[in-house]
Amino acid sequence: MSLRTYKGISPTLAEAVYIDESAVVMGDIEIGKDSSIWPLVAARGDVNKIRIGARSNIQDGSVLHVSRPTSKNPQGSPLIIGDEVTVGHKVMLHGCQLGNKILVGMGAIVMDEAIVEDNVIIGAGSLVPPGKRLASGYLYVGSPVKQARPLTEAELKFLPQSAENYVVLKDDYLAEA
Ligand SMILES: CC(C)(COP(=O)(O)OP(=O)(O)OC[C@H]1O[C@@H](n2cnc3c(N)ncnc32)[C@H](O)[C@@H]1OP(=O)(O)O)[C@@H](O)C(=O)NCCC(=O)NCCS
């Protein structure tokens, strides 16, 4: 796998993390237990940090990056992803904060300083603008996103199930490695 060091800082992986060999994971990145990074993901923790919690999955072709500190924003914009988060194929996450039990639909873009609370689904192809806050328990769709409706009981149950599916899948891949 391609784990790269930047300015002396290398990614830190907890137990049973799976990273596909075609992914590039670089710099100040911590990844929690049982999380997985799928083919062609680029995660670059250079001008700020990236943190990914436990049992989360970052699917194929997604791009994860951050923004550097500025005089207006002295902390810059790190990228923080919680536990049991499913990031679909070809998602762009940039300097934003995601809570727990979230599904980011395929091809979505989440921009700097956006905050996604726990138990949210972001529809495929949606755009979450800078600084926007998505409230817990809702589906958001569109570009820019709008609150569409409350999540159903089935969708709320599916969020941790989706994470579990990917934990099982990555264990298969780890067993073959
Ligand atoms: C949004 C989503 C959850 C469907 O929600 P839903 O309430 O069941 O929506 P429906 O399919 O009944 O469609 C309702 C309306 O929303 C529209 N719609 C559906 N998905 C949409 C999306 N991603 N963005 C914008 N509009 C969407 C439909 O066209 C329909 O519009 P209409 O009422 O004008 O005809 C689903 O389409 C989606 O985007 N899921 C993400 C899946 C994914 O990417 N998973 C990760 C890969 S593993």
Q: For the chain, what is the domain count?
A: 1
Q: Give distance in angstroms: CA of 46 to centre of ligand 1.
A: 34
Q: How many whole angstroms separate alpha carbon 61 and alpha carbon 52?
A: 17
Counting as low any pLDDT under 50, the low residues of the chain are none
- At residue 177, the pLDDT reads 82
Q: Is the CB of 110 under 6 A from ligand 1?
A: no
Q: What is the CATH number of the domain that holds 112?
A: 2.160.10.10
Residue with tokens 């799976």: 18
Nearest CA to ligand 1 atom 48: 88
For residue 38 the two structure tokens come to: 């799928």
pLDDT in tens, 83-95: 999 999 999 999 9
Q: Give distance in angstroms: CA of 123 to centre of ligand 1.
A: 6
- At residue 23, the pLDDT reads 98
- At residue 73, the pLDDT reads 95
Q: How many whole angstroms separate alpha carbon 158 and alpha carbon 6?
A: 37
User: Could you tell me the residue range of the domain that residue 27 belongs to?
Assistant: 2-176
- 75 DSSP assignment: T
Which amino acid is located at 164 in the chain?
Answer: E
Q: Is the CB of 76 under 6 A from ligand 1?
A: no
Residue with tokens 């923080």: 80
- At residue 93, the pLDDT reads 99
Its pTM stands at 0.98
- At residue 1, the pLDDT reads 67
Q: Is the CB of 124 under 6 A from ligand 1?
A: yes
Q: Is the CB of 45 under 6 A from ligand 1?
A: no
